[in-house]
Structure 1
Amino acid sequence: MRGTGHRSARVRMRGWGGVTGMAVACAVTAAVTLLPLTHGDGSHGGQDTGRGVTSVVRTTAESCADPEASLPPSGGGGPNIDKIRARGKLIAGVDQNSFRWGYRDPESGTLEGFDIDLVRAVAKDILGDPDAVIFRAIPTNQRIAALEHDRVDIVVRTMTINCDRLKQVSFSTAYFQAGQQVLAAKGSDITGYDRSLAGKRVCTAEGSTAYEALEKESFGAVFKDEHEGTAADPDLLTVPNQLDCLVRLQLGKVDAVVTDNALAAGQAAQDPAVELKGDKPFTTEYYGVAAKLGADDLVARVNHVLEEYRRGGASSPWMRSYQEWLEEGLPGVTGPPAATYRSN
């Protein structure tokens, strides 16, 4: 966390010249997301966890009835921990375009946000130094591949835990509750994830749960690309990064975006001409820290970090980070989801 610096950053970002200025600024940022970044500069029933954020529910892992159930926490080591220590750096896949979650401050050039704070907490626990991190920008559709090909140790990038992804990567316990919601211009006749989307051009990120939701129920929206193109094509509806959708919305290339409400709130903060549609998210999802499938020692260690991160109620590291980065756009959250562990 960086004190009050985020408030000045918000002022700067809101002063980028309105919708057109934001579109240009976002396009410039989105264009460099594939480049490696520089070295580091209680039941899960939602955030309303007055029962205590460290309470747990033991369950089995034979089926995927409870995908948020993860390995019990451990402060010990193992082959993956040893590799990180030998390197002297934690390599983390993050976003640099999601305002308040993982973004590059336009003035200082440093990475900041809720996810970045969590990465630094993991680095401090394993290596004793919150700055012992190599940050690598990972597009939405490359999060799993980055782990499978050992480009990163962990991905902390607003990544939803679900059964399909558990076949490809391992997840920590949940560290945030979110849900899918529609983002559109304030003057739009779109009212939410409903029949008002009929005939509308809707943008989503490839490999996102938003895309999966639209495949199940589109309400007549157009969301699949009907032509070949490149990631830089402004007419594409399915894009590598969530922020690419905001740029297309600002340029009038799409009518709406479907994405996590947590990300959409940050995008609405960047551009006062857009807003969340609908009273609430139409799904309930949980973010987790992802690691390579089978990296059990690292997952257990991250869960150990999260136990400490949640501890302390209103003064916990989790709450301090939430208050610094997210409270303005996502008010009313009283705490993190409580951990759920497998009983293996």
Structure 2
Amino acid sequence: MDTKSLILGLTAATTLALASIPAQAAKLDDVLSRGKLVVGTGSTNAPWHFKDAGDTLQGFDIDMAKTVAKALFGDAEKVEFVNQSSDARIPNITTGKVDMTCQFMTVTGERAQQVNFTIPYYREGVGLMLKEGGQYADYAALKAAGSSVTIAVLQNVYAEELVHKALPEATVDQYDAQDLLYQALQSGRADAAATDQSSIAWYVTQNPGQYKDGGYGWSPQTYACAVAKGDQDWLNFVNTALHEAMTGVEFDTYAASFKKWFGKDLPPPAIGFPVEFK
């Protein structure tokens, strides 16, 4: 057999082999056919994902997942949640156990090599929580007080460096549990607690008149959902659902969730030129 005939034969064989492989349904089609969305998330971190007294899963991450379910089926309840630890967020996506993960997941370059991130649905940062009516009115007063102030922070190798980015002279006390920060603030052992701004918003909302936000945030990080690589249609769909929740037809639902978990009223998107391109 000459070289040309050999090549033609191999090409024909390859074509037949490929044709015999059944087409794999895209994720969007797969989810629609299944009739429900499967989402990985946690259950122990308010206000993101936690259970109420009736054992019902709730939180801002849960609401974001339900937003996607509503876009898929017209029914926000057509979603199954898979309770997972933080270290399972990526493996459960890459193995196909879940369709997506919404679990206060910080976007990083390293993670983006393993999964595709959606558009952001929240921007986190560190803030300062103070007692209402306490010695220091706000961040400016804390900073002016220099080394006289003590800041409680969750124990971490970078904890002292993190606090000193905002308050260079402050004394830093580290605690190994989140609730201990609030206890230190309540008892007067700390003048402020440095923690996630979402946690501050939640705690202030749950304890009206007792605590307040110091009015300054730093160390920003982006929260987004994540999906498996290789399916642009699925990523585009989830992005569209989240985008319209924050800027379009589902804005009222998004704003109500934001108000419920963070105690803040969002201004409605401006009519006319799309605000996200300004």
SS in 1 for 2:80: strand
Alignment of 1:203-214 (within 5 A): 203=154, 214=159
Aligned to 1:104: 51
Alignment of 1:229-308 (within 5 A): 237=176, 245-250=177-182, 258-271=194-207, 275=211, 278-308=214-244
Aligned to 2:266: 333
Give the counterpart letter for 1:318 in structure 2: F
**Preserved CA contact (<8 Å) 1:102 1:157:** yes
- Residue segments in structure 2 that go unaligned for 5+ positions in a row: 1-23, 165-170
Residues 1:178 and 2:124 aligned together? yes
**Preserved CA contact (<8 Å) 1:327 1:333:** no
**Preserved CA contact (<8 Å) 1:183 1:274:** no
Aligned pair partner of 1:160 in 100, 106, 120: 106
Q: CA deviation at 1:84?
A: 2.8
Q: CA deviation at 1:140?
A: 4.3
Count residues with an aligned counterpart: 235
Aligned to 2:65: 119
Aligned to 2:37: 90
**Preserved CA contact (<8 Å) 1:98 1:267:** no
Identity of aligned residues (%): 24
**Preserved CA contact (<8 Å) 2:259 2:265:** no
TM-score in terms of structure 2 length: 0.63
Q: CA deviation at 1:328?
A: 7.8
Q: CA deviation at 1:257?
A: 5.5
SS in 1 for 2:222: strand
Rounded Cα–Cα distance in structure 2 between residues aligned with 1:264 and 1:280: 12
Q: Which one has the largest radius of gyration?
A: 2
Q: CA deviation at 1:251?
A: 5.5
Aligned to 2:3: none
TM-score in terms of structure 1 length: 0.53
Distance change in 2, residues 1:273/1:174 (3 Å): same
Q: CA-to-partner distance for each residue in 1:167-215, whole Å, 9 max, x for gaps?
A: 33211112233322134666687976976698865216xxxxxx69748
Give the counterpart letter for 2:38 in structure 1: I
Distance change in 2, residues 1:339/1:109 (3 Å): farther
**Preserved CA contact (<8 Å) 2:245 2:253:** no
SS in 1 for 2:77: coil
Residues 1:318 and 2:251 aligned together? yes
Distance change in 2, residues 1:200/1:304 (3 Å): closer
**Preserved CA contact (<8 Å) 1:246 1:257:** no
Q: CA deviation at 1:326?
A: 2.1
Rounded Cα–Cα distance in structure 2 between residues aligned with 1:272 and 1:218: 26
The answer to which structure, 1 or 2, has the higher relative contact order (CA under 8 A, 6+ apart) is 1
**Preserved CA contact (<8 Å) 2:116 2:228:** yes
Q: CA-to-partner distance for each residue in 1:249-307, whole Å, 9 max, x for gaps?
A: 35559967544312321133334697455322113443322223444332111012124
Rounded Cα–Cα distance in structure 1 between residues aligned with 2:66 and 2:203: 24
